[in-house]
Structures are given as structure tokens and as C-alpha cells.
Amino acid sequence: MKKAFIFSGMLTAVLSAGFSSAHAQSVEQKTYLINGLASAVPFIGYGFANLQKKIPGSELYSYISPIEGSTIIQPRIMSDIRKAWKRNPAVEINLIGISYGANLITRMGAQLQDEGIQVSYMGVIDGLPLGNVTPNVRRVDNFTCRLPGCLRDKVRLTKGNSITIANAFDFTTTHIAMGDNPEVHQRILHQITTVPLNIAEPTLDLGYTASTTQAE
């Protein structure tokens, strides 16, 4: 584990303790976790099973094939988001996906852009192929890995998108292990449990080794 992440976690905990719990209690959140292909098959890695336990109220989706992912899982999540937003336009939408699930959330972000719905946070974990991120996404983190089998596709912003705060993180680990990586979990929890306006600027990442991606 990188020392930067250990230090960051300790410092973040100290600085955010005063407002993270208040934020969680006062703002409605909808967090969707989307696993990769064949994730509904037993013993195919951890996926987000452990991450879901750390995010109360989060919804975890698994499936077998890309057809099931795009024709059943994606429409189901989109319908739920629309209902939540219609009920409360201030709801914070968090989309977190790994592998093919990362591809799905970038496509959903673009659909939500067309419908005027904002995404508070998008966690893109070693997916391929990724859609470009639209300006309705407030913050996006791109997690990749570098061992054999890793996909390594990079998040890019749509042309003219100067709004989304984008950061990239790279790990020496495997593709399957990324879903249960404690440093990835730490970063995601940091992003969705603190006041967004206080963590938007990369300078407030407090030790996270990050690089800002460029719009194309």
C-alpha cells in the first residue's frame, strides 16, 4: 500500500470528520455499483460485494453478458435514477463501475446529460471501451492497473467540457483485484461522503497521487 494513501486517509479522516456525517444525513444519495461481465457467475472475483457493505443503501448489479448489461441492467438503473431525480432534483447520483460496468456508467452519464440530470460522482475502474465524460458529471475518478490482463483505457472528457473534475490513479495489481482494492474503496468513500464543494479541486485531495485528464 502506498504511503501517500495511508497518510491521505488519516488526514482526510481528521479534516472531514466535522462535516461528512452531516452531509450524509442532510443530502439524499443514490449510489449504484455495477460489476463486470460474468459477475453473476459464482467465484468470478470479488466484484463490489465488499464495497457495497461499506456504502449503506447502495445498490449492486451483476450480470452475465454484455447484452444483459446494456438491455436489462442499464435501463433498470436509468429508470430508478429518473424516478429519484423527479422526486428530488437535489438527489446526488453516484455511479461506480468496473470493467464492462465502467463502460456502462460512462454511457449512462451521457444519457443523463441529455436529460439534464447531474451525476455527483463517477468511479470508473479499469473499463473498456469508455465513453467520454460529459459536463453533467461533477467529479470522475479513473482507476487503472498495470499487470497483465488490465484494460488500462483512460477517461477522457467530451470536447469543451471544462466543468468535470477528473483524476486518474494507477495501481500495480490485477484487473479482478481492483474491485476489492482497499485504496480504491478509500478514495470512493472519501468522494461520496464529504461535501462535494469542499473536495472538487484536485489541490484538496490531500496526498492522493492523481493526475488531471485532458478534454479531447
The pLDDT value recorded for residue 168 is: 95
Q: What is the pLDDT of residue 6?
A: 36
- Using the predicted structure, report yes or no on whether residue 198 has a pLDDT greater than 80: no
Count of CA atoms in the C-beta half-sphere (13 A) of 176: 7
pLDDT at 62 over 90: yes
Q: How do residues 95-134 score in pLDDT, each as one tens digit?
A: 999 999 999 999 999 999 999 999 999 999 999 899 999 9
Confidence of residue 40 (pLDDT cuts 50, 70, 90): confident
Residue 22 reports pLDDT greater than 60: no
Work out the angle between the directed axes of helices 74-87 and 100-114 (0-180°, nearest 10).
Answer: 40
What confidence category does residue 177 fall into, taking pLDDT thresholds of 50, 70 and 90?
Answer: very high
CA 34 distance to own-chain centroid: 10
Decide if pLDDT at 12 tops 80: no
Read off the pLDDT band of 196 (50, 70, 90).
low
Q: What is the largest CA-CA distance in the chain?
A: 45
Per-residue confidence (pLDDT) for residue 137, from 0 to 100:
96
**pLDDT at position 172:** 95
The model's pLDDT over 44-55, given as tens digits with 9 standing for 90+, comes to 777 899 999 999
Please name the amino acid found at residue 141. Answer: D
Spatial neighbors of 12 by CB under 8 A, at least 6 apart, are 190, 194, 206
Question: Which pTM was predicted?
Answer: 0.81
Residue 38 pLDDT level (bands cut at 50, 70, 90):
confident
More reliable by pLDDT, 10 or 166: 166
22-26, 36-40, 121-125: the lowest-pLDDT one: 22-26
User: Residue 48 in contact with residue 98, Cβ under 8 Å?
Assistant: yes
**The predicted structure's pLDDT at residue 204:** 34
Spatial neighbors of 164 by CB under 8 A, at least 6 apart, are 133, 134, 135, 137, 138, 139, 140, 157
CA distance 119 to 113: 9
